[in-house]
Amino acid sequence: SGPKKEDLQRMMELMDGFKASKALFTASKMCVFDLLQSRPGLEAEQIAQEIKASLKGTQCLLEACVSLGLLRSKDHKPMYENTDLATRFLLSDAPFSLHGYIQHCNSTVWPLFSHLESAVQEGTNQHDKAFGKKSKDMFQDTVYYDREVKLRFMKAMHSIAKVTGKAVATAFDLSSFKTVCDIGGCTGAMAYEFTEAHPGLSVTVFDLPAVVDMSEHFTPQHREHRVSFVAGDFFKDDLPKADLYILARILHDWPDEKVDILLKRISDACRPGCGLLLSEIFLDEDRGGPCRGLLQALSMSVGKQRSATEYSQLLKSHGFITAHVRHTDNMLDAMLCIKE
């Protein structure tokens, strides 16, 4: 008998996945969703004029976005408006906007993945081929050397942290802690979620000077918060004193020897009873998923993705006992460990 319909459909989805991603990235970069939010019901010709694109290209992009569930035609006429999904995630100023992360995927992840074959053959990231730059330290060499690239990266981190922050901040009872240091806390997006969720907490964000310099661009308005920033290098400088340290999306970026240096420095800064809250994608114990974590590993950063058990063992070797593990329904999982 012939191939099953659902098998063929799955294969088509896999083969066309990159086209769907690029259509989303392009519509987002050309601000189609922001435009249709302020002026719902525009026709293709008006949209083409506004985004300074050809009519034919714009029509194809709009129709593709309709088929992907991002736009719909208004009143069954060739007039377009955002779907709820686009309104929630694709407007540049939506509370859970993924716009920043999508721009990062388009400008950084896409070029890296276009060299995937070499990445697999060599087992190394392809920054030199994609951007003409070798990277020893991904952040200092390839992201923070240029103001525009740095801001784009910070917006990407900010958007993911805003979407995931509440789930991580509310994953555990943190009532026994008062002072928190978010190591590599970037724009403070996660820190603001922690102070919002826990009125007794104050958070110091510790990140490189290049990042802390730009932190005021991301300060939430109309919100009382207890978040401060300290600039430094977590491999060299004294870590701010705290009774809970957060490591969100940090360890997967570094090779084992650097991970050990960082964890030793945190462990040395901790008294018994201090906490370490780790947030990462936790791989399934059989490494069969989730897809997001395994696909991320293909970017061949010098670090690696781990399961909850692997993280627990790693942290135990630095004197932290895992108290709770939480697989959230959000994009990041979390683990709370206590210093022995």
173-192 residues near ligand SAM, rule: CB under 6 A:
184-186, 190
Residue nearest ligand SAM by beta-carbon distance? 184
Q: Which part of the chain contacts ligand SAM (CB under 6 A), choosing from 75-83, 88-96, 227-235, 312-320?
A: 227-235
SS3 for the chain is: CCCCHHHHHHHHHHHHHHHHHHHHHHHHHCCHHHHHHHCCCEEHHHHHHHCCCCHHHHHHHHHHHHHCCCEEEHHHCCEEEECHHHHHHCCCCCCCCCHHHHHHHHHHHHHHHCCHHHHHHHCCCCHHHHHCCCCCCHHHHHHCCCHHHHHHHHHHHHHHHHHHHHHHHCCCCCCCCCEEEEECCCCCHHHHHHHHHCCCCEEEEEECHHHHCCHHHHCCCCCCCCEEEEECCCCCCCCCCCCEEEEECCHHHCCHHHHHHHHHHHHHHCCCCCEEEEEECCECCCCCCCHHHHHHHCCCCCCCCCEHHHHHHHHHCCCEEEEEEECCCCCCEEEEEEEC
- Residue 186 beta carbon to ligand SAM: minimum distance, rounded to whole angstroms: 3
Q: Judged by CB under 6 A, which stretch of 15-23, 61-69, 229-237, 314-322 contacts ligand SAM?
A: 229-237
For position 163 contacting ligand SAM by CB under 6 A, the verdict is no
Nearer to ligand SAM, 33 or 234 (CB): 234
Min CB(159)–ligand SAM separation in Å: 9
User: In this complex, which beta carbon is closest to ligand SAM, that of residue 66 or of residue 314?
Assistant: 314
Closest CA to 226 of 246, 200, 247, 245: 200
Q: Which of 112, 191, 248, 276 binds ligand SAM (CB under 6 A)?
A: 248
Considering the complex, state which of residue 70 and residue 112 has its C-beta at the smaller distance from ligand SAM: 112
Is 161 a binding residue for ligand SAM by CB under 6 A? The answer is yes
Regarding 233 and contact with ligand SAM (CB under 6 A), the answer is: yes
Q: Is residue 208 at the binding interface for ligand SAM, with CB under 6 A as the rule?
A: yes
Contact (CB, 8 A) for 211 and 278: no
Minimum gap (Å) between residue 239 Cβ and ligand SAM: 10
Give 253's contacts (C-beta < 8 A, 6+ positions apart).
138, 301, 302, 303
- From 252, 318, 324, 327, the catalytic residue: 252
- By CB under 6 A, the count of residues binding ligand SAM is 18
Q: Which of residues 101-160 bind ligand SAM (CB under 6 A)?
A: 139, 157, 160
Residue from 193, 207, 243, 280 touching ligand SAM (CB under 6 A): that is: 207
Nearer to ligand SAM, 88 or 252 (CB): 252
> Which are the contacts of 92, defined by CB distance < 8 A and separation ≥ 6?
31, 34, 99
Site membership for ligand SAM, residue 86 (CB under 6 A): no
CB nearer to ligand SAM: pick between 230 and 314: 230
For ligand SAM, the binding residue among 211, 266, 278, 308 (CB under 6 A) is: 211
Catalytic residue flag (residue 318): no
List active site positions: 252
Task: Please give the residue ranges that form the binding site for ligand SAM (CB under 6 A).
Answer: 139, 157, 160-161, 184-186, 190, 207-208, 211, 233-235, 248-250, 253
